[in-house]
């Protein structure tokens, strides 16, 4: 079973507990997202460039790909059915960790189909769908480092990606566990992995699925391992605009359909 499939199975039970909340959600009047999409004839999907296997740009085709985008394409189809507009086009917009929420709030994108963790801080600005899976926060380290737990990072250097929930996590772990570690913030996941690869960082803290993908794509993947300790369990989801109840009902409803039919586990060909 692949790493991604394990994560999909991991969250299925949790997601099922949310079914009643979505099924009985408000059917408010058409909100800004639906009106915007109907008026423009376009639904804009925000994607990442280096968050494989969730959301990334394929090196060969230079096209956006990934598990989260596959879900967003299904959501786009559901929106077309709701609006009775099969002619609605899909546009892709590249976003990064530090700009994804602003791009959504400003109306540049309609859905952020990336690798975002649903957090209380972010819920003050935007809304999240039901989780598309539950992910584990882990540390990727060099095989010969001897690092297995967060306490092994005392006095070491930790890398993570700027603008992600792991930036806050690294800072809190550093203070709460008195690690006295140096924290390096990279502009994206690839740069953070390069810090580890070049020996400038002793560990890269991030979602397990992203770390596993970066490790698999390394020149010498056998040189890296995931530290045994799980740092946090986090719900990963698609972001949409806040207080957009009619749009959220369509989006969550389609994700529930994908879960119930088992389509969410199928790899797009």
Summarised one tens digit per residue, pLDDT across range 179-207 is 999 999 999 999 999 999 999 999 999 99
Q: How confident is the model at residue 267 (pLDDT cuts 50, 70, 90)?
A: low
- Of all residues in the chain, the percent with pLDDT exceeding 70 is 87
Distance (Å) of CA 185 to CA 77, 126, 139, 207: 37, 24, 15, 15
pLDDT of residue 13: 44
pLDDT of residue 234: 86
* Listed residue (118, 108, 124, 91) closest to 11, CA to CA: 118
Structure tokens given for 31: 């909100």
Structure tokens given for 20: 């009643």
Which whole number is the average pLDDT over 85-101?
A: 96
CB 185 within 8 A of CB 167: yes
What CA–CA distance (Å, rounded) separates 21 from 13?
15
CB 115 within 8 A of CB 91: no
What global pTM score does this model have?
Answer: 0.82
Which whole number is the average pLDDT over 87-112?
A: 96
Quick: pLDDT tens for 156-173.
999 999 999 999 999 999
H or E element: which one contains 250?
A: helix 245-261
Strand partners, 161: 186
CB 194 within 8 A of CB 140: no
Q: What is the mean pLDDT of the chain?
A: 89
Q: What is the largest CA-CA distance in the chain?
A: 59
pLDDT of residue 103: 96
Question: Taking 70 as the threshold, does the pLDDT of residue 85 lie above it?
Answer: yes
Nearby residues of 154 by Cβ (< 8 Å), 6 or more positions away: 178, 179, 180, 181
């Amino acid at each position: 079973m692949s790493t991604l499939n394990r994560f999909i199975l991991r969250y299925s039970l949790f997601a099922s507990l949310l079914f009643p909340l979505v099924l009985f959600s408000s059917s408010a009047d058409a909100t800004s997202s639906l009106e915007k999409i109907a008026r423009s004839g376009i639904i804009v999907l925000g994607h990442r460039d280096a968050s494989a296997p969730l959301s990334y740009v394929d090196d060969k085709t230079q096209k956006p790909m990934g598990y989260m985008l596959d879900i967003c394409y299904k959501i786009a189809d559901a929106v077309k059915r709701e609006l009775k507009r099969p002619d609605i086009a899909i546009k892709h917009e590249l976003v990064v960790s530090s700009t994804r929420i602003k791009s959504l709030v400003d109306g540049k994108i309609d859905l952020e189909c990336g690798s975002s963790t649903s957090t209380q801080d972010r819920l003050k600005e935007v809304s999240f769908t039901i989780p598309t899976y539950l992910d584990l926060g882990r540390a990727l380290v060099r095989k010969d480092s001897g690092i297995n737990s967060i306490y092994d990072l005392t006095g070491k250097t930790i890398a993570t990606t700027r603008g992600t929930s792991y930036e806050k996590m690294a800072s809190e772990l550093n203070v709460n566990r008195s690690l006295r570690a140096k924290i390096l913030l990279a502009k994206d996941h690839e740069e953070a992995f390069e810090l580890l690869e070049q020996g400038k960082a002793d560990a890269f803290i991030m979602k397990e699925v992203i770390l596993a993908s970066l490790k698999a794509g390394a020149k010498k993947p056998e040189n890296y391992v995931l530290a045994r300790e799980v740092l946090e369990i986090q719900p990963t989801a698609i972001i949409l605009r806040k207080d957009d109840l009619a749009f959220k009902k369509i989006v969550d409803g389609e994700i529930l359909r994908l879960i119930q039919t088992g389509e969410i586990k199928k790899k797009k060909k």
